[in-house]
Amino acid sequence: MQPLLLEDGNKDILTLPGYSPLVPEATYVLFLAKSEYGKSENQEYAWNIISMNHGKYNIDGKDPLEDVFSDAKQLKLQKSVIKKYGIDH
């Protein structure tokens, strides 16, 4: 689950300041936490991206907004995530 709201037939995306939504067809490493919020009748719980943008790392360069919304700490963590999980950027 992402912290966003789709309006006008999913044409407009509203989100919290400092968060960039996941881009379709882009590849990410996500760090998730269980949540009671957002679950539906057939789900025991939902999964949320932890710590806003600090819980998601684009690894294929297809998310042009990630660097805009990232701070120096997140960019450093992104390099560590790519190295640790053996993913070529």
Range of the domain at 43: 4-84
Query: What token pair was written down for 88?
Result: 């070529």
pTM: 0.70
The answer as to whether 89 is a domain residue is no
The gap from C-alpha 85 to its chain's centroid, in whole angstroms, comes to 17
Contacts of residue 88, defined as CB under 8 A and 6 or more positions apart, other chains included, come to: 82
Query: What token pair was written down for 32?
Result: 């998730």
The answer as to whether 24 is a domain residue is yes
What's the total number of domains in the chain?
1
Helices and strands: H and E segment counts in the chain: 2, 6
- Is the pLDDT score of 87 beyond 70? no
- Give pLDDT tens digits for 34-75: 887 766 677 677 788 888 777 888 888 888 887 776 777 777
